[in-house]
Chains A and B, each alone.
Chain A
Amino acid sequence: NAGVTQTPKFQVLKTGQSMTLQCAQDMNHNSMYWYRQDPGMGLRLIYYSASEGTTDKGEVPNGYNVSRLNKREFSLRLESAAPSQTSVYFCASSDRWANYGYTFGSGTRLTVV
């Protein structure tokens, strides 16, 4: 099925460990996004990529890095995980102007202990 695929679905990290969240879309979308979701705070933008080869910071970029590997793939890396990064992470994609909204991945539930 066409859509946005995220891996892994669940992850537990120890403080200071690193990991990469993977995201791939097969909708031929130009733009991709990483959001985090915390209770009572909605979805907050971490980084986005308007097109292959470009990335920009969102509202809460500290502690994260991203790579737009090609048009399909957009990864999010935590270099040194902290308990404050415990959250649910969603990847999304859209056409360049989000004319039809976002298609979200199924999410990654990350716990940092």
Chain B
Amino acid sequence: GENVEQHPSTLSVQEGDSAVIKCTYSDSASNYFPWYKQELGKRPQLIIDIRSNVGEKKDQRIAVTLNKTAKHFSLHITETQPEDSAVYFCAANAGGTSYGKLTFGQGTILTVHP
């Protein structure tokens, strides 16, 4: 089955700096890669996603890049703010007929210091 590895497990930055979280996946048939943000005690919320026919996608201060050849994708947050502090999860879907099943990375705890 699909295996998703996420790094780093913790990331500490100063307000205004950029943050980058990287994920690798194993299933070459995967074609959908979402990113979720989870604030303390809350449910995960989808913040951005990318499909395999696109190399990069941006939404204001966040962007995601995908390298299908190397099977890795990354989340980039620019001009970080204290409210960006949360746990971030990457995920990849299962290939073939496994419908919408997502495999998640282990999570990155991002702390933005004012």
Residues of A that sit less than 8 Å from B by CB: 31, 33, 35, 40-45, 48, 50, 58-59, 90, 94-102, 104-107
Whole-angstrom CA separation of A43 from B92 in the bound complex: 12
- Contact yes or no, A101 B34, CB < 8 A: yes
Apart from the given pairs A99-B32, A102-B34, A102-B46, 16 other A-B contacts in the complex at a CB distance below 8 Å: A31-B99, A31-B100, A40-B9, A40-B106, A41-B106, A45-B102, A59-B1, A59-B103, A90-B43, A96-B99, A98-B32, A98-B93, A98-B100, A100-B46, A102-B44, A104-B45
List the A side residues contacting B93 at CB < 8 Å. Answer: 98
B residues 21-77 in Cβ contact with A at 8 Å: 32, 34, 36, 42-46, 49
- Contact yes or no, A42 B104, CB < 8 A: yes
Whole-angstrom CA separation of A104 from B92 in the bound complex: 16
Q: In terms of DSSP, what is the predominant structure of the interface of chain A? A: loop
Complex partner residue of A102 from B6, B9, B102, CB under 8 angstroms? B102
**Taking the nearest CB of chain A, how far is it from the CB of B32, in angstroms?**
7
B residues 4-25 in Cβ contact with A at 8 Å: 6, 9
Known A40-B9, A59-B1: A45·B43 in contact at CB below 8 Å: no
Complex partner residue of B107 from A42, A45, A105, CB under 8 angstroms? A42
- Contact yes or no, A42 B106, CB < 8 A: yes
**Taking the nearest CB of chain B, how far is it from the CB of A49, in angstroms?**
10
List the A side residues contacting B6 at CB < 8 Å. Answer: 42
- Contact yes or no, A95 B89, CB < 8 A: no
Whole-angstrom CA separation of A84 from B104 in the bound complex: 20
Complex partner residue of B102 from A41, A98, A106, CB under 8 angstroms? A98
List the B side residues contacting A100 at CB < 8 Å. Answer: 46, 49
Known A101-B34, A104-B43: A42·B99 in contact at CB below 8 Å: no
